[in-house]
Structure 1
Amino acid sequence: MARVHFTPQLRRFVDAPEVKTNAANLREALEAAFVLNPRLRGYVLDEQGHLRANVTIFIDGRRLRDLQALSDVLGPASQVHVFQALSGG
């Protein structure tokens, strides 16, 4: 099963447990996480359902390619890491 991990920075604002899923692509995997906590959707996706500008996702160590449809394919052992960008100065 693919696993979706959320960084501690994101978990500071909303409950985001690790999700294990048989999803075929990233959108399906994120939807599985949103079922567990619907509030998480607003932190990860914008109003059009696209990835928010302050969120980065890596699948098996590679940066997400499809920022709008989130159609990047997942394998049965894929590791997905969802990062919230940090700002500061």
Structure 2
Amino acid sequence: MARIEFTPQLRRFVDTPVVDTAAATLRAGLDAAFATNERLRGYILDDQGHLRHNVVVFIDGRRARDLRGLSDPLGPDSRVHVLQALSGG
């Protein structure tokens, strides 16, 4: 099963479960995480359902490509890391 993990920084604001899912796409995997804590959705997705600009997702060490449709495929052994992007200088 694919495993989805969220950055520890999000824990200051909302529970961030580690989710094991049989989802075939990033969107389905995130939906599985949101099913355990719906408040998490607002921190990850904007009101159009697209990945927020300050959030970065890596699937098996590679940055997710479809930031709107979230259609990137997940394999049965995929590891997904959802991070808050850092900015500043």
Interval of TM-score (by shorter of Structure 1 and Structure 2)? over 0.9
- State the partner residue of 2:18: 18
C-alpha separation in 2, matches of 1:68 and 1:88: 24
Further displaced range: 58-67 or 11-20: 11-20
- State the partner residue of 2:54: 54
Question: CA deviation digits over 1:27-67, x for unaligned, max 9?
Answer: 00000000000000000000000000000000000000000
C-alpha separation in 1, matches of 2:10 and 2:83: 7
- State the partner residue of 1:35: 35
Percent identical pairs in the alignment equals 72
- Give the letter aligned to residue 67 of structure 1: L
- State the partner residue of 1:84: 84
C-alpha separation in 2, matches of 1:43 and 1:74: 21
TM-score (norm 2): 0.96
Alpha-carbon distance, 1:86 to partner = 3.2
Aligned-residue CA RMSD (Å): 1.0
Aligned residue pairs, count: 89
Alpha-carbon distance, 1:87 to partner = 4.0
Unmatched segments (≥5 aa) in structure 1: none
TM-score (norm 1): 0.96
C-alpha separation in 2, matches of 1:11 and 1:46: 19
C-alpha separation in 2, matches of 1:62 and 1:86: 17
Alpha-carbon distance, 1:85 to partner = 1.9
- State the partner residue of 1:64: 64
Alpha-carbon distance, 1:88 to partner = 4.8
